[in-house]
């Protein structure tokens, strides 16, 4: 009776977790989205690079079933579960993410996301790419961003310039700018979205406690905040020595404690070995003493 009750509770738990794991719904209009260009070998190669850099840590190598042990499981994207989905569905999932998968909206450009999909499709022999639909030609402004750090102001200055109708370049006012700092996983937004002033400039306060690399360098990038793509923009990337110097090894560096034994510091290996020897010596000594006592008692 108890056992049945337990089974019943267990089946409810598994049902609920299965249901909650399934609720990653892609809106219908997004499912129908197709790539703006025909996938090329170049795109696939670029997509592979992006995949290895951004996805492999969780999804493993394509076709090898060696994804990271996460809940819900990321799965191998070469398999049917992912491959039966439309390009639009995959694009949406990569763009929006779902905990623990990061959203790649601000990490990969749209072109990069499409090239990742081009790469994923190389593992599906049945895949035939739907006819590409180019995005509507934009009618908006063509904006280019530049980044600099102003030491006297202790601020990051983003300057937006735009291509004017007569072919000249002018400063672009009224452009919404987002600033990012590079972290292990993609980028972290710094501060609020700022709008450029009449001189095409937006000033960003920099958090004083932000860690940089061991020389204090922080990689910064600036983008135009424009979800509807009315502007074609060139983002800017730069590196400034304004972070706090941190000497922590990166997650991907080899000589780290959590890495394989070969890379562990020598003193840890020595301490560990020594304590193992001491503990075993103690155990052997106790066993030996017990045997000696037995022998003695038999003799008595």
Query: Distance of CA 42 to CAs 22, 39, 121, 130, 171, Å?
Result: 34, 8, 14, 18, 35
CA separation for the pair 86, 146 (Å, rounded): 37
Per-residue tokens: 93: 């999932």
Binding segment for ligand HEC (CB under 6 A), chosen from 35-43, 70-78, 192-200, 226-234, is 70-78
Residues 267 to 286 in contact with ligand HEC, rule: CB under 6 A: none
Whether omega before 100 lies within 30 degrees of 0, making that bond cis, reads: yes
**Shortest approach of ligand HEC to residue 51 CB, angstroms?**
6
Nearest-5° Cα angle at 5, 4 to 11:
90
**Shortest approach of ligand HEC to residue 29 CB, angstroms?**
18
Binding segment for ligand HEC (CB under 6 A), chosen from 54-62, 142-150, 174-182, 244-252, is 54-62
Q: Does 54 bind ligand HEC (CB under 6 A)?
A: yes
**Shortest approach of ligand HEC to residue 110 CB, angstroms?**
13
Binding residue (CB under 6 A) for ligand HEC from 116, 218, 220, 236: 116
Given a contact cutoff of 8 angstroms between Cβ atoms, the answer to whether 193 and 164 are in contact is no
Give the nearer residue to ligand HEC in terms of CB position, either 26 or 264.
26
**Shortest approach of ligand HEC to residue 8 CB, angstroms?**
26
Give the nearer residue to ligand HEC in terms of CB position, either 24 or 288.
24
Given a contact cutoff of 8 angstroms between Cβ atoms, the answer to whether 157 and 138 are in contact is no
**Shortest approach of ligand HEC to residue 64 CB, angstroms?**
15
Binding residue (CB under 6 A) for ligand HEC from 26, 31, 34, 75: 75
**Shortest approach of ligand HEC to residue 17 CB, angstroms?**
11
Binding residue (CB under 6 A) for ligand HEC from 9, 21, 268, 270: 21
Residue 43: closest CA among 103, 136, 108, 105 = 108
CA separation for the pair 295, 289 (Å, rounded): 10
Q: Does 70 bind ligand HEC (CB under 6 A)?
A: yes
Q: CA dihedral defined by 216, 219, 225, 229, rounded to 10 degrees? A: 180
Give the nearer residue to ligand HEC in terms of CB position, either 67 or 149.
67
CA separation for the pair 54, 110 (Å, rounded): 14
In a 10 Å sphere around its CB, with 0-12 CB exposed, 13-18 middle and 19+ buried, how is residue 135 labelled?
exposed
Q: Does 228 bind ligand HEC (CB under 6 A)?
A: no
Binding segment for ligand HEC (CB under 6 A), chosen from 52-60, 123-131, 154-162, 260-268, is 52-60
Per-residue tokens: 151: 């030491």
Binding site for ligand HEC (CB under 6 A): 21, 24, 54-55, 57-59, 70, 72, 74-75, 77, 81-82, 90, 93-94, 98, 100-102, 104, 116
């Amino acid at each position: 009776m108890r056992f049945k009750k337990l089974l019943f509770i267990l089946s409810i738990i598994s049902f609920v977790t299965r249901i909650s794991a399934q609720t990653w719904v892609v809106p219908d209009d997004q499912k129908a989205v197709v790539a703006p260009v025909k996938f090329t070998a170049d795109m696939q190669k670029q997509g592979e690079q992006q995949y290895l850099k951004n996805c492999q840590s969780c999804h493993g190598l394509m076709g090898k079933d060696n994804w990271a042990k996460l809940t819900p499981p990321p799965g191998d994207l070469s398999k049917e579960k992912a491959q039966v989905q439309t390009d639009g569905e995959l694009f949406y999932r990569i763009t929006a993410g779902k905990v623990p998968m990061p959203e790649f909206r601000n990490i990969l450009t749209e072109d990069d996301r499409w090239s990742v999909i081009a790469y994923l499709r190389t593992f599906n022999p049945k895949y035939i790419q739907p006819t590409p639909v180019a995005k509507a030609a934009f009618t908006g402004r063509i904006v280019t961003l530049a980044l600099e750090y102003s030491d006297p102001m202790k601020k990051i200055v983003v300057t937006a310039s735009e291509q004017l109708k007569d072919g000249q370049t002018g400063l672009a006012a009224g452009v919404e700018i987002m600033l990012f700092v590079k972290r292990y996983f993609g980028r972290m937004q710094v501060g609020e979205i700022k709008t450029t002033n009449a001189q095409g400039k937006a000033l960003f306060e920099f958090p004083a406690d932000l860690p940089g690399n061991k020389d204090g360098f922080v990689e910064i990038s600036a983008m135009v905040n424009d979800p509807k793509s009315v502007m074609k923009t060139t983002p800017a990337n730069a590196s400034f020595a304004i972070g706090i110097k941190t000497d922590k090894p990166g997650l991907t560096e080899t000589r780290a404690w959590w890495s394989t034994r070969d890379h562990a510091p020598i003193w840890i290996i020595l301490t560990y070995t020594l304590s193992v020897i001491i503990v075993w010596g103690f155990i052997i000594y106790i066993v030996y003493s017990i045997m000696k006592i037995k022998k003695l008692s038999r003799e008595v």
